[in-house]
Amino acid sequence: MSTTETDPRDAPRASGGGEAPEPILSARGVEVAFAAGFAPGGGKGTARAVDGVNLDVSAGEIVALVGESGCGKTTLARVLLGLERPTGGVVVFEGRPMRYGSRDLRAYRRRVQLVQQDPTGSLNPRRTVYESVAEGLRIHEGTTADEAERVAGALSGAGLRPPERFLARYPHELSGGQRQRVVIAGALVLDPEVLVADEPVASLDASVRGEILRLLLDLRDELGLSALVATHDLGLAWNIADRVAVMYLGRVVELGTVEEVLAAPAHPYTRALLSVLPDAGEGEPVVLAGEPPDPKQVPPGCRFHPRCPVLASGEAERAGVADLCRTVDPAVLGGGAERRVACHWAAADGTGRVRAEAGGAG
């Protein structure tokens, strides 16, 4: 449990200098399994919340993790923060596997910060804005002479200006958007390199949502911050992300840049998600049949096949992959910046690469 001699403060900041392909934070084959509880009739077995995920976040990049509720987004975010220990695989930060000694975690958490879904709950109601923002500083440095200034700086960085007006307020005296800015300021005050945001705007109304997203983009541009944003909202992903990872039942099923994934989706699941957006334009909306699957009973073969519209319509049969869909699990996608999709049907005419015109087929 000895720590490395490197002080995180001395390590070079991975700022946006050059197109370094080296990811700053990555998940390599991360798996998380929970032992199922004793709910009557709930059945036994383990719930595989995250089931083999490779995902890279490069410096200065915003990656959106998209998927429906219960697909493992939040669990993956918690793993990346070291709040949850993966049952398999590793989290790699700056090329080194994450270690779970308490001092290692402390050093790590100085540099990777969390923004939670519910800003009301993530602020202690008994602490003023000043105290909540200064919390991280005090944890890592104790009370410093320039604390007040750094807190004010972080608050105005997060768009709360003038900061003096907010210092002595309590969370219940602020609006939802202001609370979320306080949370973001609390993360910024430590000069983190990566922000992990779990549904950062899900509980905010539409007007505030835009402001917070704008803030995240500005922070990326100005501070070179990387971010992983877990969301169920495809529009949000489209607006702020550089790359998108679509998650289904604990696995990333499609990965690529925003334009690639959202403008020309290859995986039937991504297509179904996009087709039901109000402004989807041409094409029939595809409503997925069946229950959202149970992570305790992952289907054999492709995990999406019981609900797959391509398989149901017989199109997969015509392409000659229907048996593969039912029996062979598509390989776990690699990370990296390439376009990848875990679908037998989409891969039928090449290996790994996707037909650019696949988006047109309905």
Partner 1 sequence: MSADTEEHGADAPGGDAGGANGAGGAPVSPRALARRRRAEALRRFAREYTRNRAGLVGLLALSAIVLLALFAPLLVDQAELTVTGAPGAAYEPPSAEFPLGTDNFGRSVLDLIIWGSRVSLTVGFLATVVSVVLGTLVGVTAGHFGASGGPAGRVVSSVLMRVTDWFLVLPTLVLAVALAAVLPRGTGTIIIAIGLTVWPATARLVRAQTLAVEARPFVERARALGGGHTHVMAWHVLPNVMPVVLAQTTLLVATSIIAESTLAFLGVGDPTTISWGGILEAARTAGAISSGIWWYMIPPGLAIAAVALSFTLCGRALESVINPRLREQR
Residues interacting with partner 1, by CB under 8 A?
81, 83, 102, 105-106, 108-110, 113-114, 116-118, 121-127, 135-136, 139-140, 142-150, 153, 156-157, 159, 161, 170, 172, 183, 186-187, 190, 214, 218, 222-223
At residue 69, φ and ψ (nearest 5 deg) are -60, 140
Task: Between 149 and 259, name the residue whose CB sits nearer to partner 1.
Answer: 149
Taking the complex as a whole, how short is the minimal distance between the CB of residue 157 and partner 1, in angstroms? 5
Taking the complex as a whole, how short is the minimal distance between the CB of residue 152 and partner 1, in angstroms? 9
Say which residues have a Cβ less than 8 Å from residue 7's Cβ, sequence separation at least 6: 107
Task: Between 74 and 275, name the residue whose CB sits nearer to partner 1.
Answer: 74
Residue 71 is which amino acid? C
Produce one character per residue of 121-159: b if its CB has 16 or more CB atoms within 10 Å, e if not: ebbeeeebbbbbbbbbbeebeeeeeebeebbbbbbebbb
Taking the complex as a whole, how short is the minimal distance between the CB of residue 27 and partner 1, in angstroms? 17
Residue carrying structure tokens 């604990």: 250
Task: Between 66 and 223, name the residue whose CB sits nearer to partner 1.
Answer: 223
The C-alpha atoms of residue 7 and residue 221 are separated, in whole angstroms, by 26
Task: Between 41 and 125, name the residue whose CB sits nearer to partner 1.
Answer: 125
Residue 168 is which amino acid? A
- Do residues 248 and 304 make contact, with C-beta atoms less than 8 angstroms apart? yes
Q: Containing H/E element for 309?
A: helix 309-312
Taking the complex as a whole, how short is the minimal distance between the CB of residue 276 and partner 1, in angstroms? 30
Task: Between 34 and 170, name the residue whose CB sits nearer to partner 1.
Answer: 170
The C-alpha atoms of residue 358 and residue 362 are separated, in whole angstroms, by 9
Taking the complex as a whole, how short is the minimal distance between the CB of residue 119 and partner 1, in angstroms? 9
Taking the complex as a whole, how short is the minimal distance between the CB of residue 116 and partner 1, in angstroms? 5
Task: Between 159 and 265, name the residue whose CB sits nearer to partner 1.
Answer: 159
